[in-house]
Structure 1
Amino acid sequence: MTVADRIILGARVRTMTGPEAAESPEAVAVADGRILAVGPRSEVLALAGPGTDVIEHPSATILPGLVDAHSHPIYSLGIVRGLSLAGVHTRAGLRAALERGRDEQAGDEWFLAWGLDPSAFEGEPIGNAELHVVLGADRPAYIKMFDAHSGIASAAALARAGVTAPFDNPDGSGAVGDTEGRLTGHLLEFPTMELVERILPPHGFDDRVRQLRGLLGDMAAVGITTAHVMDLKDPDALELLAAIEAEGDLPVRLRISPWCEPTTTDAEVAALVAMQGRGGRRYGIEGIKLFIDGTVEGGTAWLATPDADGEGLAATWPEADAYAARIRLFDEQGIPTATHAIGERGIRFVAETLASLPAGGVPHRIEHIESAEDDVIALIGASGIVASMQPTHCTHHVRPDGSDDWSRRLGATRAGRAWRTGDVRRSGATLALGSDWPVAPFDPWEIMADAQTRRPTAHPGTPAVGADQALTAVEALEGYTTHAHRAIGSAGGALVPGAPADLIVLDTDPLTAAPEELLDARVLLTLVDGRPTHR
């Protein structure tokens, strides 16, 4: 008989294998990093030996480890610098926050901030005027907007970056100008933002290792055991991870999908293919990420008709057929892909491209799916395309009265199709859930709560956005367990003998707790490979 290394006892085990039996199992045994047994307390305890670590939480629920299906933990290190502007939605609030940040960063040459929602400009054009009022035009300053697809630079920062006049690129990126042709400081999409970001104060390697280790530990503390990392932007990202693993295990498994962009050459594509499988003990490159468009708020989402500001008619790929050719190449190589698609035209194009691939291949995903039409949702379900969505993008930034920038730009009809998670599930599609950290907080319990209420659950009385798109408690938890695994072609996310021992112990039962109660849920234990990453 195999002796358990560790036995976890609780009030119940949610195995996520289907409808729970009348008498739910109460215990899980772990040996050699895998689930040894799941069953009644007495049966599982019989597997204990003299050295078995028995952990008991009599009123808690044992669950599979959670998967954040869309996250940017390494890339976020260069974003979450300086003042957090999350939750700022008015000009007055922005000015007050900038004044506070000015005092906090008084000794720094650069002023840095992140996480600003465009709603703070109250419908007026986004620009650097508030930065100049509070900081003066001579101080270099940079704000990364909440969507991470745009930024605001002060006049001094623009001058240092060599940006002297407005410009537009074919892929929708550019530096915005006002009606008189003067730079506003609003920078759209990655190629333009990088002009400023490459001259920001350096962020030391050792500091980033420490910060990343702490971030992954914080993710483990809320029950995340795996994150699907949707970038490999930092040139030293793998070195950062190797440095952490040189001192111990990562607290969270990382599945990394580097970017393929319109400017990626054939030689670089070959290198992306060759990178597949490279990694360490708990991290590896196992896919490729692409973009078909940008964001609604930046005017770079690919829409069927212009938005309220006359924008949104361009794809990120100037020749969209080139995107389709890349997808076919990766499919032939057996490499799963994930494509960022926001606007209804972009989502349609990606869905039709993926639906045309030969059946039976690796899974391919569409990320975000912010506003999609009925027939496209049906196509996603019928074609086995995976949907990867982030409920709090809707509940944190969309207002039922349509006054937010996302809704204003799209208009009532398209805004009425916001984040159709319920319809995606009803189509039969796999629906993986995540945060898109640092675009939104990575707390999975808030995300699962908001997925059920379709409103910011932390703010009682707030009206719902698309109440008919709410998920059930089971569907929300599946989005972080079984469906997140299906999204990458894995049968994981369930507590069954032989499965990797990635599990958590929660002080409540997420399948019976009210969404409001999930906000106070506390993870008592997180195991990866049967070893504690949070306890």
Structure 2
Amino acid sequence: MPVPHAEWVFHSGAVFDGRRLVRGASAVAVSGGRVSAVGSDSELRALAGPATQTVDLAGRLISPGFTDAHVHAAYAGVERLGCDLAELSGAQSCLDRIAEYAALTPAPGNDAGWVTGGGWYKGDFPGGYPDRALLDAVVPDRPVYLINRDHHSAWVNSRALELAGIDASTPDPADGRIERGSGGHPSGILHEGAMDLMTRLLPPVTAELLEAGILHAQEHLFSVGVTGWQEAILGSYGGYPDASAAYRSLSRSGKLKARAAGALWVPRDTTVDSVPDLVESFRNRRAENVAAGFSTRSAKIMVDGVPENLTAAMLDPYLKPCACAGPESAGERGLLYLPPEVLQAAAVALDAAGFDLHLHVIGDRAVRTGLDAIAAARAANPGFAGREHPDRQHAGRHQMDKRHHMDRRHHMAHLQIIHPGDVARFAALEVTVNAQALWACNDDQMRDLTVPLLGAERAAWQYPFADLEAAGASLAMGSDWPVSSPDPWQAIHVAVNRAHPDHPGAPALQPEQALTLQSALAAYTGGSAWLNRSAGGSLVSGAPADLAVHSANPFGLPAPGLSAVRVDLAMVAGEPVFVRDGAAGGTPARLQRTSA
């Protein structure tokens, strides 16, 4: 009986299956949107026929496509369509771009008189936070609102403050802070919940703009080999509306080709009394989204902020006052956005309803508080999977909750500062490490802003990836784009080297916490896909053909060369979604017909 020919055969390379290099494998065949075979060139030669597309890997690596376990694709896409500062370096280049953008003819994303966008970097400004006077000098008459790269602060000019009525008498909200200068007058920086004082005035981010932003982000993510992701906030945040409707629309239309999922946002004003209504709304939203082909089985809770503005929650006080907050910040231990009893109530109820908890944690107090909440959920719901819910009126919905709950994939993102006593708890509680590895390096922000606030002892507790892995924790990876680059190879480079390629002279950050290349690549492919409950993430026979062809075999490169690896071809369900022009060795990705 003749062997059916494959639609694609990739040969003469190295194969990573989502966990490790496959010994003896050099070829992958794809048919019907799935991997049909993995083996040697000689074993797969019989699958190539007259209509087969062949790709000569010429020693390059083929792997599953990357899955980004924590990304803000909607925000990133919209900001790239607006006043985009994300890829700039230096204060003057930011100001020049802002002035150029303000001079453009108003268009979607640049209307209603406002200049909006984001991506400025704290390390480009003394003390981390620029003054409104800098904006006033380049845009004196129009209001300006620019979110910084980590999305925990916004930079505004005097006109924006005037329109919002923010002055020296305006109190700080409970979940944020207004930076102030002399006389208590606002300096132009709004931290965390203080951003909401401005967002009611901003031009609306329309459904059309959100869809355009997601598609723009999808194109860029494909170009770096990301074929699936988790949208880390679906809800009203920082001036953005819930992007769920845009994702549903794109999913129904077939324009959303990536394997995208999302995390429903738990607002920071949640109380113990409001938790039942929150969970009921999440159930309804989950059902509506999944009916459109868009999975939202994660619930995102921001436990704390970031250390540079003193909002990361610390077990012990910061070492010195924040330069921008004034001497009154002495003794500050940061913010827990939800009181521990509220976080615990929400964790228990969401866990019981079958949601995967996705916790933003940066400071060591936030990590411990988050672990305590997950421990409470594990203790409160150990037998839920085997119980029928007594509410027969909603039996179908709660049966779905029960099935979900049999496999809970709770995870913590960022994990900058972990007290050594908490490292072993991740494996014990089955909490996956959702790492943003690109941050684990000594860059300008780390040196000038972060370490002076933490001190040497706590600085040594940062991003302990190797210790977490050695203790048995599962690893996944994400970028937090637009906070940082979505290119997985940049993050993998830092995970392995503990140094950033743009800072070659800086010492490695806790080099003993480096991961192996195999561990880092597995985390960004199979680990993140598993966390995301994605069908992708594996390069084995029968798996969806979501794959990436890389510009080299990184396992044959010296570690400092990892950041130079690029993606030559990306595929989702057997369909090429990106082919790099001029890929090394000839035509894009060396696509060519073969003879029988």
In structure 2, the partner of 1:84 is: 85
Give the unaligned 5+ runs of structure 2. 107-112, 322-329, 383-405, 580-596
CA-CA distance at 1:98 after TM superposition: 0.9
TM-score, normalised relative to structure 1 = 0.90
Match of 1:369 in 2: 415
Match of 1:145 among 145, 148, 152: 148
Equivalence map 1:56-75=2 (5 Å): 56-75=56-75
Offset at residue 151 of structure 1 (A): 0.8
Could you say which residue in structure 2 is the equivalent of 1:252? Answer: 258
Deviation at 1:96, TM superposition (A): 5.2
Aligned equivalent of 1:321, options 311, 335, 341: 341
Contact 1:458 1:519 (C-alpha < 8 Å) held by counterparts: no
Q: Which residue of 2 aligns with 1:389?
A: 435
For the 8 Å contact 1:166–1:176, the answer to whether it is kept is no
When the two chains are superposed, the root-mean-square deviation of aligned CA atoms in Å is 2.6
Distance 1:246 1:353 in 2: 36
The separation in 2 between residues aligned to 1:408 and 1:28, in whole angstroms, is 50
Distance 1:64 1:517, change over 3 A: same
Answering whether residue 131 of structure 2 is matched by residue 127 of structure 1, we say: yes
Contact 2:76–2:213 under 8 Å retained in 1 = no
Superposed CA offset, 1:338-381 (max 9, x none)? 10011111101111222341467512111111111111111113
3-state SS of 1:167 partner: coil
Offset at residue 435 of structure 1 (A): 0.7
Between the aligned partners of 2:128 and 2:233, the Cα distance in structure 1 is 32
Counterpart AA for 1:392: L
Matched, 1:346 2:366: yes
Q: Residues 166 and 236 of structure 1: is their aligned pair in 2 closer, same or farther, counting only changes over 3 Å?
A: closer
Q: Counterpart of 1:457?
A: 501
| C-alpha contact 1:385 1:429 (8 A) present in aligned 2 | yes
* 1:503 corresponding residue in structure 2: 547
Checking the alignment, whether the CA contact within 8 Å between 1:250 and 1:282 is kept in structure 2 is no
Q: Shift of the alpha carbon at 1:201?
A: 3.7
Residues of 1 paired with 2:412 and 2:50: CA distance? 49
Does the C-alpha gap of structure 1 residues 140 and 489 become closer, same or farther in structure 2, counting only changes over 3 Å?
closer
TM-score (norm. length: structure 2): 0.81
Please, which of 520, 542, 547 is the counterpart of residue 476 of structure 1? 520
Q: Distance in 2 between matches of 1:425 and 1:445?
A: 20
Counterpart of 2:304? 293
Give 2:355's aligned amino acid.
I
Structure 2 residue 191 is the aligned partner of structure 1 residue 188: yes
Alpha-carbon distance between aligned partners in 2 of 1:194 and 1:275, rounded to the nearest angstrom: 24
Q: 2:160 aligns with which of 157, 160, 170?
A: 157
Contact 2:76–2:482 (Cα < 8 Å) also in 1: yes
Cα distance in 1 for residues equivalent to 2:94 and 2:34: 48
Q: How many residues align?
A: 523
Letter of the aligned partner of 2:427 in structure 1? G
Summarize the Cα distance change of 1:50–1:279 in structure 2 as closer, same or farther, 3 Å threshold. Answer: farther
Residues 87, 123 of structure 1: alpha-carbon distance in 2 compared, 3 angstrom cutoff: same
1:206-263 deviation digits (Å, cap 9, x = unpaired): 4543342132112112111111111113546233334444654424211101111242
Cα distance in 1, alignment partners of residues 430 and 162 from structure 2: 49
Which residue identity lines up with residue 275 of structure 1 in the other structure?
A: R
| Aligned 8 A contact 2:442 2:507 in 1 | no
- Name the structure 1 match of 2:466: 422
**2:335 is aligned with 1:332:** no
Shift of 1:122: 2.2
Task: Output the amino acid matched with 1:199.
Answer: L
Summarize the Cα distance change of 1:115–1:235 in structure 2 as closer, same or farther, 3 Å threshold.
closer
User: What residue in structure 1 maps to residue 217 of structure 2?
Assistant: 215
Distance in 2 (CA, whole Å) between partners of 1:470 and 1:130 is: 40
**1:521 corresponding residue in structure 2:** 565
Q: Distance in 1 between matches of 2:202 and 2:181?
A: 25
Shift of the alpha carbon at 1:450? Answer: 1.3
From 270, 275, 280, the equivalent of 1:270 is 280
After superposition, the C-alpha distances for 1:283-307 in whole angstroms (9 at most, x for unaligned) are: 4212111111111122211111222
Question: Matched residues in 2 for 1:242 and 1:329: separation?
Answer: 26
**CA 1:4–1:85 in structure 2 vs 1: closer, same or farther (change >3 Å)?**
closer
Residue 261 (structure 1) aligned with residue 305 (structure 2): no
Cα distance between partner residues in 2 of 1:212 and 1:491: 21
- Asked whether the 8 Å contact 1:217–1:251 carries over to 2, the reply is no
Show the counterpart of 2:94.
97
Instruction: String of CA shifts for 1:263-316, please: whole Å, max 9, x gaps.
Output: 243323211123225247764212111111111122211111222223334310
Q: Give the percent of matched residue pairs that are identical in Structure 1 and Structure 2.
A: 29
Structure 1 window deviating more from structure 2 (422-431 vs 207-216): it is 207-216
Aligned-pair CA distance for 1:50: 5.1
1:12 is aligned to 14
1:398 Cα offset (Å): 5.4
Task: State the distance in 2 between where 1:221 and 1:528 align.
Answer: 12
Distance 1:27 1:99, change over 3 A: closer
Shift of 1:426: 1.6
**Cα distance change, pair 404–87 in 1 and its aligned pair in 2 (3 A):** farther
In 1, Cα distance between equivalents of 2:368 and 2:552:
40
- Contact 2:31/2:574 (8 A) holds in 1: yes
| Cα drift, residue 48 of structure 1 | 4.2
- Separation in structure 2 between the aligned mates of residue 335 and residue 414 of structure 1, nearest angstrom: 32
Asked whether the 8 Å contact 1:305–1:313 carries over to 2, the reply is no
Distance 1:502 1:477, change over 3 A: same
> How far has the Cα of 1:141 moved from its partner?
1.7
Structure 1 CA distance for aligned equivalents of residues 511 and 466 of structure 2: 9
SS at match of 1:180: helix
Which has more helix, going by share of residues? 2
Deviations 1:149-175 (A, max 9, x none): 11121121012123233322233x132
Q: Distance in 2 between matches of 1:124 and 1:204?
A: 31
Aligned twin of 2:45: 45
Work out whether residues 248 and 294 of structure 2, in 8 Å CA contact, stay in contact via their aligned partners in 1. Answer: no
Partner Cα separation in structure 2 for residue 491 and residue 241 of structure 1: 18
Q: Do the aligned residues in 2 keep the contact of 1:292 with 1:339 (CA within 8 Å)?
A: yes
Residue aligning to 2:35: 35
Residue 442 of structure 2 is aligned to residue 442 of structure 1: no
Aligned residue among 102, 106, 114 for 2:118: 114
Which is further off, 66-75 or 34-43?
A: 34-43
Return the alpha-carbon distance in structure 1 between the equivalents of residues 341 and 435 of structure 2. 25
Residues 156-211 of structure 1, C-alpha deviation per residue, up to 9 Å, x if partnerless?
1012123233322233x13233352212222111x421332343345554454334
Change (3 A) 1:78 1:149: farther
Deviation at 1:121, TM superposition (A): 3.5
Alpha-carbon distance in 1 for matches of 2:217, 2:454: 35
